[in-house]
């Protein structure tokens, strides 16, 4: 078992380079099997979710290798094989292989995807979107068994699902039909997938959640630099707000983080924005900045609500954080309470009344962003905190301990 040991109360100073986005890289890895030529994902993060997706591609016959920080995918040997639970069960983004396999081979069979336990996250939107473009799917206890009967169609999502939009983009990229997606996801990572498909020779156009895809006969390889990870950047903003000090984040587009930066500024932090960097400074005590409701992009990201809750735990006043997307995303609340936070959860809302200071303790992460929230809280707390559940944090943060140590944090990884 492993734990993060954090001695809190040390302000953070310095600069950190933000990694490329996990949520962009994973569907791009699925897109690689749409061609027989190499696909190079530049500056790919070394995280366990990437390793899990590489395991799926390797099982299918592709070759995956890291070279000087880039992930090079050689998909020419890819075969259409059923993906069992041991491959998909730990990775939600494995569902993207459904659309990719359908585009490449016309059929696919995959076990249900896994990932963090933050809610049921049904696949109805995926299957409905694929059905609209000619895919018939049979669902049984073994998973999803899909076959393409024709190409193209019109998809009208009732909710702008990220994964469903990505699956339809992938499935529609090859073939003779034309596909239009209305009310698709607008997240930067989804649009980045559309950019990669275009760079591979696809015919994809998009604006404000509407995507138009004309299928092509073949795609070619490409070298692509994914968008920076706005969730990692937002996590470091919350960590700096919690601990205090001054931190510069390099290589990040601030417009992707506006809902968070506006809130943190309201909490009493100074935010300086430049072309590709954000500087956050916090000297005084934090104050509540009003309630928050998570929403699809460009709203407040659900992947940042746990970390922001850790900031609010010591912000004078009361903050209500409503989670509108996933029904089980407050597992961290009980752990924050063990550190002295005044936090209660009713239905889909966390009610947080700021306390002057949190104290250290032994807590456990049960999902990726909840783990980041506990580390955020521990950095600003008095005393020592042990955070278990390192494997969840490893899913989405590349060298988090090393980056925090360069900022002056007293954090170590322990094997117990």
Has residue 120 got a pLDDT over 80? Answer: no
CA–CA dist 340, 243 (Å, integer):
16
Tell me if residue 322 is catalytic. no
Q: Is there a common fold for 2-16+228-415 and 25-224?
A: yes
Could you tell me the pLDDT band of residue 307, with boundaries at 50, 70 and 90? very high
> Taking the domains of the chain in order of start, what are their residue ranges?
2-16+228-415, 25-224
Could you tell me the pLDDT band of residue 303, with boundaries at 50, 70 and 90? very high
The torsion angle over the Cα atoms of residues 352, 358, 360 and 365, rounded to 10 degrees, is: 20
Q: Do the strands 362-364 and 384-388 form a parallel or antiparallel pair, or are they unpaired?
A: parallel
CA distances from 255 to 70, 137, 209, 289 (A): 26, 38, 17, 20
CATH class given for the domain over 2-16+228-415: alpha beta
More confident residue, 237 or 112: 237
- State mean pLDDT over 81-101: 94
* Whole-number pLDDT of residue 115: 54
Has residue 325 got a pLDDT over 90? Answer: no
Q: Which of 116, 238, 269, 312 is catalytic?
A: 116
CA 204 to chain centre: 23
pLDDT per position as a tens digit, 343-364: 999 999 999 999 999 999 999 9
Listed residue (188, 284, 288, 186) closest to 234, CA to CA = 188
- State mean pLDDT over 209-235: 98
Could you tell me the pLDDT band of residue 118, with boundaries at 50, 70 and 90? very low
* Whole-number pLDDT of residue 121: 54
% pLDDT > 70, the chain? 98
pLDDT per position as a tens digit, 196-211: 999 999 999 999 999 9
- Report the CATH number of the 25-224 domain: 3.65.10.10
Supply the pTM of this predicted model: 0.96
């Amino acid at each position: 078992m492993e734990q993060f040991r954090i001695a809190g109360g040390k302000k953070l100073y310095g600069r950190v380079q933000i990694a490329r986005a996990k949520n962009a890289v994973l569907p791009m890895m699925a897109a690689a099997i749409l061609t027989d030529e190499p696909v190079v994902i530049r500056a790919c993060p070394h995280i366990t979710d990437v390793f899990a997706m590489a395991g799926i591609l390797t099982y299918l016959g592709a070759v995956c290798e890291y070279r000087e920080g880039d992930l090079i995918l050689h998909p020419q040997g890819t075969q259409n094989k059923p993906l069992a639970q041991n491959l998909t069960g730990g990775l939600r983004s494995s569902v993207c292989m459904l659309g990719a396999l359908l585009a490449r081979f016309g059929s696919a069979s995959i076990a249900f995807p896994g990932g963090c336990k933050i809610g049921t996250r049904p696949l109805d939107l995926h299957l409905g979107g694929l059905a609209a473009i000619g895919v018939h799917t049979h669902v049984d206890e073994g998973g999803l068994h899909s076959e393409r009967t024709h190409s193209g169609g019109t998809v009208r999502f009732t909710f702008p699902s990220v994964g469903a939009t990505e699956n339809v983009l992938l499935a529609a990229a090859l073939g003779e039909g034309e596909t239009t997606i209305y009310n698709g996801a607008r997240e930067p990572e989804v649009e980045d997938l559309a950019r990669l498909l275009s760079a591979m020779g696809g015919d994809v156009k998009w604006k404000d959640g509407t995507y138009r895809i004309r299928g092509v006969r073949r795609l070619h390889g490409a070298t692509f630099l994914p968008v920076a990870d706005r969730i990692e950047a937002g996590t470091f903003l919350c960590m700096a707000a919690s601990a205090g000090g001054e931190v510069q984040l390099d290589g990040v587009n601030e417009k992707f983080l506006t809902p968070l930066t506006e809130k943190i500024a309201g909490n009493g932090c100074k935010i300086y924005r430049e072309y590709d960097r954000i500087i956050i400074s916090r000297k005084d005590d934090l104050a509540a900045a009003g309630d928050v409701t998570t929403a699809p992009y460009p709203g407040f990201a659900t992947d940042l609500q746990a970390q922001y809750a850790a900031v609010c735990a010591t912000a004078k006043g009361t903050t209500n954080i409503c989670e509108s997307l996933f029904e089980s995303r407050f597992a961290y609340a009980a752990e924050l309470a063990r550190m002295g936070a005044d936090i209660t959860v009713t239905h889909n809302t966390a009610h947080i009344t700021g306390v002057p200071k949190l104290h250290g303790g032994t807590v456990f992460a049960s999902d990726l962003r909840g783990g980041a929230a506990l580390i955020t809280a521990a950095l600003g707390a008095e005393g020592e905190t042990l955070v278990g559940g390192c494997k969840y944090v490893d899913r989405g943060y590349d060298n988090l301990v090393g980056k925090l140590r360069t900022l002056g944090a007293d954090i170590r990884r322990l094997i117990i």
